[in-house]
Amino acid sequence: MAETNLEADMDLTARRPLQGVNVLELQGMGPVPFCAMMLADLGANIIRIDKKGAPPAVVPDNPVVNRGRRSIIIDLKSDRGQTVFQRLINTSHVLLEGYRPGVTEKLGLGPDICHALNPRLVYARLTGWGQTGRRAHQAGHDINYIAATGALHAIGETGPVVPLNIVGDYAGGAALALAGIMAALLNVEKGAHGQIVDSAMAEGVSYLLSFQYGLLACNAWEDQRAANMLDGSHPLYRTYECLCGKHMAVGALEPRFANQLFDRLEAHDLKALDLHDPHSLDVIRRRLEQIFLLKDRDTWAGLLEAGDCCATPVLSLLEARDDPGLADRGTFRHRHGLHEPAPSPRYSFQPADIAPAPRSGQHTRDILLELGYEASMIDTLLHSGTVSGELHE
């Protein structure tokens, strides 16, 4: 993509790192659109190829996650559709797909064909089980991947507690895939060709458990739930119910934080207890359960958050959106009529002012014009069903 003079003159410290990087996203769900959103937030130009006649998704189109890309609908099973796809590949730096292994190959869109057209393309594959192995072709969702890796087993008190799908889909999937894509792009800049990123959510979650596996190796972690310092069983690393039925989260593991907590709770005698003694920890748990039930959550929050005692109110999503502490840094923003989390982490450059989520096929005509198609040929492709979209955008 050619730079304008203005772009060429920009201070490189303020320039978005993926400005000028073209990403082709094959319509998917879960981690694929989230990964594309992060790429867009970093300045990439995202074109999403939507499926012609795709069935309704399990969840509705997400106006936050689907921001920052343009949409074209292509019949990839047609010869003319393949030609359009190939032109897009020739101008792309990254292809991002989340189909089961072998699907893109059957469509004629596999990495061998794409790299023959564009050797510098980063071909990123984001799946649950990866491209190989006995489970590679099995269906699954976040809950299945975290179950198979031990993460789900470790969460909860009596039985496993299902967390939000941020563990497998977005942490083990999208975030680690983004890291792989960035590394592959850097490798291409160093001269490498034919880069494939095989990102499996099950492997990503396993990787995220490296700390726990390290503790297991040191005999410092029990392979059962509710038996370890960081799984909610420790009295200074858990939640407590308050008078109102809401909860406070306590993470005062270190003695200096624990002592400040005890002082603010007016439980000064607890400071004399040994934080490594199981009986003492049981005493602390029972006392804190009794104390927190004496006041409502917001009262405790006002008393404890001012101190350095690692105690925080457990907020709902809507409460978090309006939390003054998060508002100080603009953790949430209001754009295009939506309240949404702002991109993270923060950089020396400003976040991209990206477009709202597109309608499916909204940009078909514009994209074809950019690929060099004449207006008459675009109308022919539209009327034949090779592509779909608005006749006059």
d(CA 170, CA 199): 12
Strand order in the sheet with 311-313: 238-241, 247-250, 311-313
Name residue 124's amino acid: A
- The H or E element spanning position 364 is helix 364-370
DSSP β-bridge partners for residue 46? 23, 69
Contact (Cβ atoms closer than 8 angstroms) between residue 265 and residue 285: no
Please state the length of the chain.
393
Instruction: Collapse the DSSP code of 23 into the 3-class scheme (helix H, G, I; strand E, B; otherwise coil) and give the result.
Output: strand
DSSP output for 111-154? HHHHHHH-TT-EEEEEESS-SSSTTTT----HHHHHHHTTHHHH
Contacts with 205 (C-beta within 8 Å, 6 or more apart), sequence order: 145, 146, 149, 151, 167, 168, 171, 172
Q: And the tokens for 255?
A: 């003695």
Cα dist. 173→29, 205, 288, 363 in Å? 12, 8, 38, 28
Instruction: Collapse the DSSP code of 372 into the 3-class scheme (helix H, G, I; strand E, B; otherwise coil) and give the result.
Output: coil
d(CA 242, CA 290): 9
Contact (Cβ atoms closer than 8 angstroms) between residue 275 and residue 255: yes
Q: Return the closest-CA partner of residue 111 out of 128, 131, 129.
A: 131
Q: And the tokens for 237?
A: 């690393």
The residues carrying an active-site annotation are: 141, 169
Task: Determine if the peptide bond prior to 345 is cis (ω within 30°).
Answer: yes
Residue recorded with tokens 């000028």:
20
DSSP output for 314-357? ---HHHHHT-HHHHTTT-EEEETTEEEEPPSS--SSPPP-PPPP
